[in-house]
Amino acid sequence: MTPAARVQAAIEILDQVQAGTVAERALTNWARKSRFAGSKDRAAIRDHVFDALRQRNSAGFLGRGSDGRALMLGVLRAKGETLEEVFSGAAYAPAVLQAGEAIAPAGEAPLDLPDWLIDPLQESLGAAFERTAEGMRHRAPIVLRVNLAKTSVTHAQHALESEGILTAPMAMVETALNVLEGARRIKQSKAFLEGLVELQDGASQAMVAALPLRDGMKVLDYCAGGGGKSLAMAGRVPRATYFAHDVDANRMQDIAPRSKRAGAKIGLLNAPVEAAPFDLVLCDAPCSGSGTWRRTPDAKWRFTEEALRDLVAVQAEILDASQALVKKGGALCYATCSFLRAENTDQIDAFMQRHPEFTLEWQRSYGFDDGGDGFFGAVLRRA
């Protein structure tokens, strides 16, 4: 495909997203219908679509509209591309520029955030708001977690480099490797298939590294999903006993093959109360995902005030249910991939009012300045 044809494909996909289709689904549907497109074509089109969604407000301003064509016009204009070469009207290329489209608009582009979220994010982020808002307009780093139960960081780097995957250590946590080159080779690499590394953001790794884990503990990952936190804990302290639970058991279907690859043992529980009490219970709660919107930018535009209220209520229910599984003297960890205070420190404050038998050991927010996604973690100790 020509560069212009890739832009036209992105325009068509963006129109579907703007009509309500989730971006990943729209991309998958296009790929299935477009067998002529090679892997480089699909990757380039995906990049176009996600760049436009990260910058939807400013791209729409620069492109003088809100449809896929306007968004791609705005993205390319922001990059300083020669628009006439792309919007040429040639075969499979976008139609030629109209008179109004050829002229850049005057004025300042709006923030690339839903209007209702600006105040809550400013209140939550303080001085980091502007840097974070700008960060959301750009791609997130691709980060690997080294499985210390199987290898060392240095050996993992050498193994990856031998397959054309170049990495650099990250200061925020010793197990994190920032992928500099060869990201699309990761899942087919020997290092990945043999469980030496896993894909996991650095902030998530840093939170796990701060947990009070030790040999012999009995640990429950209460909202386990695909088991990423369970695997990270087992990679750091393999001589503990790990269990995973999720209200939707189907979300845990990847845990068995992933734990086998990693050389970890993780038991799956439908009713964790039957195995209680636990020394440590981790609740990586469902949340807005605002800390990961660089990776899922269309979620930013679908998120609503009502959804936030619903999530805050669910998070409180999860904390109340999971605390009952913690033994005396044990720890309860609460985590989100959110920047919003309502989901983070406000939740902890409210929980401690409901459960005064718990004391706060630490809480920390991670942001883009730290090198990873937005993340929040807190550890509470039962008396």
- Angle of helix 255-262 relative to helix 228-236, nearest 10 degrees, comes to 20
CA distances from 209 to 202, 232, 259, 365, 369 (A): 10, 8, 19, 14, 18
Contact between 378 and 210 under an 8 Å Cβ cutoff? The reply is: no
- Single-letter amino acid, residue 169: P
DSSP secondary structure letters along 272-294: GGGG--EEEEEEE-----GGGTT
Comparing CA positions, the residue from 243, 239, 231, 251 lying closest to residue 268 is 243
Q: What is the DSSP letter of 322?
A: H
Question: Quick check: is 287 catalytic?
Answer: no
Q: Which of 223, 283, 333, 337 is catalytic?
A: 337
Contact between 361 and 377 under an 8 Å Cβ cutoff? The reply is: no
CA torsion 271-272-275-279 (nearest 10°) is 180
CA distances from 120 to 9, 117, 311, 343 (A): 35, 5, 15, 11
Q: What is the DSSP letter of 54?
A: H
H helix or E strand, kind and range, residue 348 = helix 345-354
Cβ-based neighbour number of residue 251 at 10 Å: 15
Backbone phi, then psi, for 169, in 5-degree steps? -60, 150
Contact between 214 and 238 under an 8 Å Cβ cutoff? The reply is: no
Give me the active site residues, please.
337
